[in-house]
Structure 1
């Protein structure tokens, strides 16, 4: 499904799933193919790992970054920029949405349902089996359904993104991928792709040839690891 990109791509998932990192990498990947790419920060849950903290860097890379302006950028309030509609209505541009970590965050996305008719977008639920609430298929199914209910939008596929940050190894990825695949089977949804650190991509492509592998460069590092 990574070969079937739609104009709007939405990443959602629980806290710690890695969806923000993935949304940033996906938007930068799209920028190599499209002139206009916007990334929308709809994360009102996590005050530390938000797209908005990378705004200056991403704009230098050519992305249009939509997030609350000024002092509101650091606030834990759903301050939604009117520029979001510009991304949704720009037929010549691509849009990537980073949506808050659970059903509460997904409620903000629901405000834009009239602009997201079925078939016009991909909504990916990013699943990390190393996180407490998505360590088993039942947890993934439960959280995905709560996001769908809150957003009033349908998830179109799962993304297998099991990781332990810098400590991730191939065996961890494989164990988590089995959990994600079982959840996808229960949900009758495809696994769009497996996201892994760039250095693991060749190994995972060899181990899981039936699923596209999307290499991720870690940019959303915690404050103590940033330069």
Structure 2
């Protein structure tokens, strides 16, 4: 697969998911690229995070300031550059609203031609994605703007560090219901490492991506250590 595209409404955790997925892909790849098409993303302006990603073999393509549709021409040559490398997996972090999806739509033909998976990251504790019907409405809006079909759902029900096992369980069931109605699979469940043992017992057979927290404030980042060993990140379910 060439392109792995992550979309989701504000607060869905799609950026966290995209970064963690990039590290997980490093298990099989020498290099991966991460394209930031989010409309407002303060965190990738952090020199420390960009340097860490680069040191770990993840090439980051990002605007130096607030990205708007008018700024896309400046990023387009670099984006086409990674798209033109058949063996380089590209992970896309895309704003989930109509403007962000429209930015992705500018590259729809090239993405579709080179193969893709498009993941809708859903946090059922955020507005507009609390019910299956709302999730399906978001799916349709993003597909229309992006001119690409969503291929998978990703369940990421959370309230940050306050998240409980029961909340992950209940939120995942809501996302699964939307997936069943849409006729597309649930790719995996995002979960903090400390919750994984109990969550995996409540949700047997599901795949899990354990999430290291990268999207931190500067004072949190100073105290954070990262476990980016891909062998500990993806947990396939056993059916």
TM-score normalised by structure 2 residue count: 0.85
Any stretches of 5+ residues in structure 2 without a counterpart? Answer: 223-239
Q: How far apart, CA to CA, are the structure 2 residues paired with 1:85 and 1:107?
A: 17
Pick from 32, 57, 68 the counterpart of residue 77 of structure 1: 68
Aligned counterpart for 2:200 among listed residues 196, 199, 205: 205
Q: Trace 1:45-56 onto structure 2 (pairs within 5 A).
A: 46-48=40-42, 50-53=43-46, 54-56=49-51
* Residue matched to 1:150: 145
- Structure-to-structure mapping, 1:166-205, within 5 angstroms: 166-205=161-200
Q: Does 1:64 align with 2:64?
A: no
Task: Output the CA distance in 1 between the equivalents of 2:67 and 2:113.
Answer: 30
Q: Would the aligned equivalents of 1:17 and 1:128 in 2 still touch at CA under 8 Å? A: yes
Q: 1:9 to 1:76 in 2, by over 3 A?
A: closer
Give the whole-Å Cα distance in 2 for the aligned partners of 1:126 and 1:32: 22
SS at match of 2:128: helix
Distance 1:106 1:127, change over 3 A: same
Offset from partner CA, 1:58-108 (integer Å, 9 cap, x none): 11222100112xxxx222423231211122221111110000131210100
Alignment of 1:160 with 2:155, yes or no, is yes
Unmatched segments (≥5 aa) in structure 1: 1-5
Q: With structure 1 as the length reference, what TM-score do the two structures score?
A: 0.89
Q: Deviations over 1:20-61 (max 9, x none)?
A: 0000000011122201200000001x343x445331221122
Distance (whole Å) between structure 1 residues aligned to residue 113 and residue 184 of structure 2: 15
1:39 touches 1:66 (CA, 8 Å); kept in 2? yes
Q: Is the 8 A contact 2:2 2:114 kept in 1?
A: no
